[in-house]
Protein backbone atom coordinates (compact mmCIF):
# COMPACT_ATOMS: atom_id res chain seq x y z
CA UNK A 1 0.00 0.00 0.00
CA UNK A 2 1.54 3.30 -1.11
CA UNK A 3 1.12 6.33 1.13
CA UNK A 4 0.57 9.45 -0.95
CA UNK A 5 -0.53 12.92 0.14
CA UNK A 6 -1.55 14.31 3.51
CA UNK A 7 -5.32 14.72 3.46
CA UNK A 8 -6.01 16.00 6.97
CA UNK A 9 -4.03 16.74 10.13
CA UNK A 10 -5.97 16.53 13.37
CA UNK A 11 -4.87 17.12 16.95
CA UNK A 12 -3.39 13.63 17.38
CA UNK A 13 -3.66 11.87 13.99
CA UNK A 14 -2.73 12.55 10.38
CA UNK A 15 -4.74 11.09 7.48
CA UNK A 16 -3.02 10.20 4.21
CA UNK A 17 -4.39 9.14 0.84
CA UNK A 18 -3.15 5.91 -0.75
CA UNK A 19 -2.93 4.45 -4.23
CA UNK A 20 -6.40 2.97 -3.56
CA UNK A 21 -9.08 5.71 -3.61
CA UNK A 22 -11.22 3.70 -1.16
CA UNK A 23 -8.52 3.36 1.50
CA UNK A 24 -6.68 5.82 3.75
CA UNK A 25 -3.81 5.62 6.21
CA UNK A 26 -4.22 6.90 9.77
CA UNK A 27 -0.97 7.89 11.45
CA UNK A 28 -1.19 8.15 15.23
CA UNK A 29 1.15 10.86 16.52
CA UNK A 30 2.54 11.47 20.00
CA UNK A 31 0.74 14.83 20.20
CA UNK A 32 -1.52 15.08 23.25
CA UNK A 33 -3.95 17.97 23.47
CA UNK A 34 -6.54 19.29 25.88
CA UNK A 35 -9.17 22.02 25.92
CA UNK A 36 -9.74 22.02 22.15
CA UNK A 37 -6.06 22.15 21.34
CA UNK A 38 -5.14 24.98 23.72
CA UNK A 39 -2.54 22.75 25.41
CA UNK A 40 -0.42 20.38 23.32
CA UNK A 41 2.48 18.21 24.46
CA UNK A 42 4.48 15.34 23.01
CA UNK A 43 4.23 12.12 25.02
CA UNK A 44 6.69 9.44 23.94
CA UNK A 45 5.10 6.17 22.68
CA UNK A 46 1.53 7.48 22.90
CA UNK A 47 0.96 7.20 19.13
CA UNK A 48 2.05 3.56 19.11
CA UNK A 49 -0.09 2.70 22.14
CA UNK A 50 -3.23 4.36 20.75
CA UNK A 51 -2.81 2.76 17.32
CA UNK A 52 -2.52 -0.76 18.73
CA UNK A 53 -5.18 -0.11 21.38
CA UNK A 54 -7.56 1.11 18.68
CA UNK A 55 -6.87 -1.97 16.54
CA UNK A 56 -7.64 -4.23 19.50
CA UNK A 57 -10.91 -2.48 20.37
CA UNK A 58 -12.12 -2.19 16.77
CA UNK A 59 -11.40 -5.90 16.25
CA UNK A 60 -13.51 -6.75 19.31
CA UNK A 61 -16.35 -4.60 17.97
CA UNK A 62 -16.11 -6.24 14.54
CA UNK A 63 -16.37 -9.64 16.23
CA UNK A 64 -19.55 -8.38 17.90
CA UNK A 65 -21.04 -7.50 14.50
CA UNK A 66 -20.36 -3.74 14.55
CA UNK A 67 -18.91 -2.49 11.26
CA UNK A 68 -15.80 -0.32 11.67
CA UNK A 69 -13.53 1.68 9.42
CA UNK A 70 -10.42 -0.31 10.35
CA UNK A 71 -8.81 -2.63 7.80
CA UNK A 72 -5.43 -3.61 9.26
CA UNK A 73 -2.35 -2.47 11.14
CA UNK A 74 0.39 -1.25 8.81
CA UNK A 75 3.07 -0.18 11.28
CA UNK A 76 3.52 0.61 14.96
CA UNK A 77 1.88 4.00 14.48
CA UNK A 78 -0.14 3.50 11.27
CA UNK A 79 -3.39 1.76 10.34
CA UNK A 80 -5.16 1.20 7.03
CA UNK A 81 -8.81 2.28 7.07
CA UNK A 82 -11.77 2.51 4.72
CA UNK A 83 -12.56 5.95 3.36
CA UNK A 84 -15.79 7.27 4.87
CA UNK A 85 -17.83 10.42 4.43
CA UNK A 86 -17.61 11.45 8.08
CA UNK A 87 -20.64 12.89 9.88
CA UNK A 88 -19.49 16.04 11.77
CA UNK A 89 -20.96 15.14 15.14
CA UNK A 90 -19.65 13.19 18.11
CA UNK A 91 -21.85 10.61 19.82
CA UNK A 92 -21.21 10.54 23.58
CA UNK A 93 -22.44 7.74 25.84
CA UNK A 94 -22.13 8.14 29.60
CA UNK A 95 -22.53 5.45 32.26
CA UNK A 96 -21.46 7.71 35.13
CA UNK A 97 -21.23 11.46 35.67
CA UNK A 98 -17.91 13.04 34.70
CA UNK A 99 -16.42 15.87 32.69
CA UNK A 100 -18.67 18.49 31.13
CA UNK A 101 -21.85 16.85 32.39
CA UNK A 102 -20.77 17.41 36.00
CA UNK A 103 -20.15 21.10 35.26
CA UNK A 104 -23.40 21.54 33.33
CA UNK A 105 -25.73 19.79 35.74
CA UNK A 106 -23.93 20.31 39.04
CA UNK A 107 -23.93 16.63 39.97
CA UNK A 108 -21.26 14.69 41.81
CA UNK A 109 -18.52 13.10 39.74
CA UNK A 110 -18.94 9.34 39.61
CA UNK A 111 -22.73 9.34 40.02
CA UNK A 112 -24.00 6.09 38.50
CA UNK A 113 -26.91 6.59 36.10
CA UNK A 114 -29.98 4.37 36.16
CA UNK A 115 -29.47 3.97 32.41
CA UNK A 116 -26.75 5.25 30.05
CA UNK A 117 -27.17 8.77 28.70
CA UNK A 118 -26.60 9.85 25.10
CA UNK A 119 -25.55 13.25 23.74
CA UNK A 120 -24.56 14.74 20.38
CA UNK A 121 -21.81 17.36 20.03
CA UNK A 122 -20.80 19.26 16.91
CA UNK A 123 -17.17 18.67 15.95
CA UNK A 124 -15.89 22.22 15.94
CA UNK A 125 -12.89 23.21 18.08
CA UNK A 126 -13.38 26.94 17.44
CA UNK A 127 -16.85 26.69 18.99
CA UNK A 128 -15.65 24.26 21.71
CA UNK A 129 -17.72 21.35 20.35
CA UNK A 130 -21.18 22.63 21.36
CA UNK A 131 -23.95 20.20 22.26
CA UNK A 132 -26.56 19.82 19.51
CA UNK A 133 -29.75 17.80 19.19
CA UNK A 134 -31.39 15.72 16.50
CA UNK A 135 -33.30 18.71 15.14
CA UNK A 136 -30.06 20.65 14.61
CA UNK A 137 -28.45 17.68 12.88
CA UNK A 138 -31.35 17.30 10.44
CA UNK A 139 -31.83 21.06 9.93
CA UNK A 140 -28.21 21.56 8.90
CA UNK A 141 -28.14 18.39 6.81
CA UNK A 142 -25.38 16.71 8.79
CA UNK A 143 -27.30 13.41 8.92
CA UNK A 144 -30.76 12.03 8.17
CA UNK A 145 -33.26 10.82 10.76
CA UNK A 146 -32.46 7.23 9.79
CA UNK A 147 -28.71 7.83 10.14
CA UNK A 148 -29.20 9.47 13.54
CA UNK A 149 -31.21 6.48 14.76
CA UNK A 150 -28.53 4.10 13.50
CA UNK A 151 -25.72 6.03 15.20
CA UNK A 152 -27.59 5.93 18.50
CA UNK A 153 -28.31 2.21 18.12
CA UNK A 154 -24.67 1.41 17.34
CA UNK A 155 -23.39 3.62 20.17
CA UNK A 156 -25.40 1.69 22.75
CA UNK A 157 -24.24 -1.61 21.21
CA UNK A 158 -20.63 -0.43 21.55
CA UNK A 159 -21.35 0.45 25.18
CA UNK A 160 -22.69 -3.03 25.92
CA UNK A 161 -19.66 -4.73 24.35
CA UNK A 162 -17.01 -2.48 25.89
CA UNK A 163 -18.50 -2.17 29.38
CA UNK A 164 -18.21 -5.95 29.69
CA UNK A 165 -14.72 -6.01 28.16
CA UNK A 166 -13.34 -3.34 30.49
CA UNK A 167 -15.14 -4.81 33.49
CA UNK A 168 -13.25 -8.07 32.97
CA UNK A 169 -10.04 -6.02 33.03
CA UNK A 170 -10.97 -4.40 36.35
CA UNK A 171 -11.96 -1.09 34.78
CA UNK A 172 -15.08 1.08 34.75
CA UNK A 173 -16.11 2.52 31.39
CA UNK A 174 -17.34 5.91 32.59
CA UNK A 175 -18.03 7.53 29.22
CA UNK A 176 -16.76 7.69 25.64
CA UNK A 177 -17.19 9.45 22.32
CA UNK A 178 -17.66 7.87 18.92
CA UNK A 179 -17.59 9.22 15.38
CA UNK A 180 -19.40 7.67 12.45
CA UNK A 181 -19.23 7.98 8.68
CA UNK A 182 -21.05 6.75 5.61
CA UNK A 183 -19.38 4.16 3.35
CA UNK A 184 -19.71 3.86 -0.42
CA UNK A 185 -22.80 1.65 0.00
CA UNK A 186 -24.54 4.20 2.23
CA UNK A 187 -24.03 2.27 5.47
CA UNK A 188 -23.26 3.94 8.80
CA UNK A 189 -19.82 2.73 9.91
CA UNK A 190 -17.85 3.42 13.09
CA UNK A 191 -14.84 5.57 12.23
CA UNK A 192 -12.00 7.54 13.78
CA UNK A 193 -10.57 5.76 16.87
CA UNK A 194 -11.31 4.30 20.28
CA UNK A 195 -8.49 4.88 22.74
CA UNK A 196 -7.96 6.32 26.24
CA UNK A 197 -7.83 9.72 24.50
CA UNK A 198 -11.58 9.56 23.82
CA UNK A 199 -13.04 7.75 26.81
CA UNK A 200 -12.90 7.76 30.59
CA UNK A 201 -11.66 4.63 32.33
CA UNK A 202 -11.39 4.26 36.09
CA UNK A 203 -9.92 1.45 38.14
CA UNK A 204 -12.81 -0.54 39.65
CA UNK A 205 -11.26 -0.78 43.08
CA UNK A 206 -9.73 2.67 43.55
CA UNK A 207 -11.50 4.90 40.94
CA UNK A 208 -8.02 5.94 39.79
CA UNK A 209 -8.26 7.69 36.42
CA UNK A 210 -6.58 5.73 33.61
CA UNK A 211 -7.35 8.00 30.64
CA UNK A 212 -6.61 11.44 29.18
CA UNK A 213 -8.03 13.14 32.28
CA UNK A 214 -4.57 12.46 33.73
CA UNK A 215 -3.27 14.94 31.14
CA UNK A 216 -6.18 17.41 31.41
CA UNK A 217 -5.93 17.52 35.19
CA UNK A 218 -2.13 17.49 35.44
CA UNK A 219 -2.03 14.16 37.28
CA UNK A 220 0.99 12.85 35.34
CA UNK A 221 1.69 9.27 34.35
CA UNK A 222 -0.44 9.51 31.20
CA UNK A 223 1.47 7.02 29.04
CA UNK A 224 1.97 4.69 32.00
CA UNK A 225 -1.80 4.64 32.59
CA UNK A 226 -2.47 3.90 28.91
CA UNK A 227 0.07 1.08 29.01
CA UNK A 228 -1.54 -0.33 32.17
CA UNK A 229 -4.98 -0.36 30.51
CA UNK A 230 -3.54 -2.05 27.43
CA UNK A 231 -1.78 -4.66 29.55
CA UNK A 232 -4.97 -5.49 31.46
CA UNK A 233 -6.85 -5.99 28.20
CA UNK A 234 -4.08 -8.11 26.69
CA UNK A 235 -3.14 -5.63 23.95
CA UNK A 236 0.28 -6.43 22.45
CA UNK A 237 2.31 -3.23 22.29
Mean pLDDT of 159-169: 98
Q: Is the pLDDT of residue 14 over 90?
A: yes
Whole-prediction pTM: 0.96
Sheet strands (E) in the chain? 3-9, 13-18, 23-28, 31-34, 39-42, 70-75, 78-82, 85-86, 89-96, 112-122, 131-132, 171-182, 188-191, 199-203
Q: Give the pLDDT of residue 37.
A: 62
Residue 34 pLDDT grade (very low, low, confident, very high; cuts 50, 70, 90): confident
* Number of Cβ atoms within 10 Å of the Cβ of 98: 19
DSSP 3-state assignment of 210? coil
Residues in the chain: 237
* CATH number assigned to the domain with residue range 3-82, chosen from the 4 options 3.40.50.300, 3.20.20.150, 3.40.50.970, 3.30.200.20: 3.30.200.20
Under 8 Å between Cβ of 52 and 230: yes
Residue 70 pLDDT grade (very low, low, confident, very high; cuts 50, 70, 90): very high
Domains 3-82 and 85-221 share a fold: no
Domain boundary assignment for the chain? 3-82, 85-221
Of 22, 75, 67, 23, the residue nearest 48 (C-alpha)? 75
Mean pLDDT of 7-15: 94
Q: Give the pLDDT of residue 36.
A: 67
DSSP 140-169: TTSS-HHHHHHHHHHHHHHHHHHHHHHHHT
> What confidence tens digit (pLDDT) does each residue in 37-63 have?
677 899 999 999 999 999 999 999 999
Q: Is the pLDDT of residue 139 over 90?
A: yes
The fold of 85-221 is D-amino Acid Aminotransferase; Chain A, domain 1 (3.30.470)
Amino acid sequence: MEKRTELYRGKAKTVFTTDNPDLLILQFRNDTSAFDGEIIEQLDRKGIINNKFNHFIMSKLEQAGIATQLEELLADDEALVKKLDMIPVECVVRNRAAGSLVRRLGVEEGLVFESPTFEFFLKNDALHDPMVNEYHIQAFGWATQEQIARMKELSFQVNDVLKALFDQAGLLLVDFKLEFGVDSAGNIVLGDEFSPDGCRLWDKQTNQKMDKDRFRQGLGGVVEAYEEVAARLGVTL
